[in-house]
Amino acid sequence: MNKAFAALNTLGSGSYGADDVHFLLRVLAIETTDVQQSVEEKERLIQTRQRHYSEMISQEHPPSNPHKALYQQALARNGARMAADVQALALALHERYNGASIALVSFVRAGLPLGVLLRRALVERGRNVRHYGISIIRDRGIDNVALEAIIKAHGAENIVFVDGWTGKGAISGQIRDSLAGDSRFPSEPRLVVLADPCGRAWLAASAEDWLIPSGILGATVSGLVSRSIWPLEPGLHGCVVYDHLAAHDETMNFIHSIEIERAHLPPQVAAHPWTPTQALALQQRAEAAVERVSTRFSVSSPNRVKPGIAEATRAVMRRVPDHVLVRSRADQNVQLLMHLSRQANIEVEEVGDELGPYRAVTVIRSVR
C-alpha cells in the first residue's frame, strides 16, 4: 500500500479485485432503517432539514427475481454499448493525460463500475493507472482527507474524477464548489461520465439518457458497498458493507461481461469534450425540462426532482415518490422503472417531449 494511505483505516477493495479499486472509505457502525415507515420518516427528516440524507442509510435488500431479470435484459441489450463508450473514454484519457501516472477518482457508488473498466482499458494501453473510490456529498462536499492522500501520491494534475452519469449536474457543481480557489485544479473539474444529458461533465461518451446496466442495481454491482455516509468525527467519510448480499453479488460478473464485449469491439474513436456551444445547448434544454416539471407539480426544492433513468429509478427504490414521468411507456429503457413504480402503487405518466433530454423523471413527495 502507498504510504500516503497507510495511516488511513480504509475499506480496501470490497468485492472487486484487489487491483481494480481502493476504497478510501472507512466502515462505520450505523443503524440502517428497514421498513417503509422508516423510509418515510427519513424523508420527512431530510425535507424538514432536521437530518441530512448523508447521515442516514436504509438497509438494502436482495433484488427480486423480476428486478434481476430486467437487469440481465439491460446487460444483454446495452452491454456492447457500454463497452464501446468505455473504450472511447479511455482513448480520450490516454490522449490527454501525458504524465507518468493517472489517478482515476470515482465517486461512490455510481462511478465505481466505470472507473474499474476505464482502469483496465488504460492498463491495456500500457498506462500506469490507479483507481480510488471516494465520497462526495451534495451540499457538504468532497472527502478532502481522501483527496489530499491521492494528491500526495499522484499529484493533482493526474487526477480524473469519474461518475456514472449526470442528472441535473448537482455533483459536477459540488466538485466545482469543493475545489473552488484550489489552484492545483482547473476551474472546470475534469469529470468523466458515460451519459451527460445536462451537459455538465468535462468528458462524456454521449448526451443520451440511456439505461446503463450498472445503474439498475445498488450494492450488488458496486462491490457490496453502500453509498457514502457523513462521519460524525473528523476523517474519512464512511460506508456500510452489505455482506448479507454476498450471495446476490454481480460486481465481478458485470465487469467481466463488459470486458468480454470490449474485447470484441471494432476500432473505436476517442470521445471529445463538449464545445462551449454544445455544453450550453445541453444545459439549457435540461434546465427547461426540470423547470417544466417543477412548475407543473409546484415543486420549490430542486432536490425533489430526479431526472434521468438512473436517478428516477433510484428515487423510486429508496425515496418516497409522488410522480413518475416517462417519455414513452413502450421504451425498453424504462421497464424496470415502471415495474418498481407498479410495486410502489405509483402511476406512470407518459408525457413525450415534455421531458426534454430525459427519458424519465421522478418527483419526490413532499412530506413536510
**Helix 112-124 vs helix 65-96: angle between axes, to the nearest 10 degrees?**
40
**311 touches 319 (CB < 8 A):** no
Residue 287 has pLDDT above 60, yes or no: yes
Q: Which tens digit of pLDDT belongs to each residue from 179-238? A: 998 999 998 889 999 999 999 999 999 999 999 999 999 999 999 999 999 887 888 999
Work out the pLDDT band at 52, boundaries 50, 70, 90: low
Q: If you average pLDDT over every residue of the chain, what do you get?
A: 91
Alpha-carbon gap, residue 70 to 132, rounded angstroms: 29
pTM of the full structure: 0.93
Q: Is the pLDDT of residue 25 over 60?
A: yes
Instruction: Kindly indicate the confidence band of residue 23, based on its pLDDT and cuts at 50, 70 and 90.
Output: very high
Phi, psi of 18 (to 5 degrees): -60, -35
Tens-digit pLDDT profile for residues 122-180: 999 999 999 999 999 888 899 999 999 999 999 999 999 999 999 999 999 999 999 99
> Which CATH number is 277-364 given?
3.30.1330.30
For the chain, what are the domain ranges?
3-263, 277-364
Beta strands at 305-307 and 360-364: parallel, antiparallel or unpaired: antiparallel
User: How far apart (Å, rounded) are the C-alpha atoms in residues 283 and 333?
Assistant: 22
Environment class of 44 (CB within 10 Å of its CB; exposed 0-12, middle 13-18, buried 19+): middle
